[in-house]
């Protein structure tokens, strides 16, 4: 069975600081990994995804994530936080044998001026 663990339910950074949101997964087969963002009172929106190939994936709004198989991780980073990045971020996993997306519990990012 797949699972996703997001370390830290709440992360707070200053504007301009590095954003690092952690995600570890468990999957018995090669995973497909996703990061979604949810702004207040909105649905989830895809930030980026890893399926195959290059392990460093770039997404929208300056975010990127690196798939590290040895660490079973897919951490999300952004070099410089902006106020508009304040939202909840969800890591999710699926695989070739399972169309279902299994989501983590989410990490709420706040950006302080």
Binding site for another protein (CB under 8 A): 32, 36, 41-46, 49, 51, 90, 94-96, 98-101, 103-106
**8-state DSSP, 108:** E
Counting Cα atoms < 13 Å in the Cβ hemisphere of 87 gives 20
C-alpha closest to that of 81 among 111, 108, 106 = 111
CB closer to another protein, 86 vs 101: 101
CB closer to another protein, 34 vs 81: 34
Q: Quote the least distance from Cβ 86 to another protein, whole Å.
A: 18
Q: Quote the least distance from Cβ 25 to another protein, whole Å.
A: 14
**8-state DSSP, 60:** G
């Amino acid at each position: 069975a797949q699972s996703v663990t997001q370390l830290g339910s709440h992360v707070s950074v200053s504007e301009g600081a590095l954003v690092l949101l952690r995600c570890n997964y468990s999957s018995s087969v090669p995973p497909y990994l996703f990061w979604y963002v949810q702004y207040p009172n909105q649905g989830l929106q895809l930030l980026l995804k890893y399926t195959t190939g290059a392990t460093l994936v770039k997404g929208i709004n300056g975010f990127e994530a690196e798939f590290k198989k040895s660490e079973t991780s897919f951490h999300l980073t952004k070099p410089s936080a902006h106020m508009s990045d304040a939202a909840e971020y969800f890591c999710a996993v699926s695989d070739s044998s399972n169309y279902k997306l299994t989501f983590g519990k989410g990490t709420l990012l706040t950006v302080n001026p």
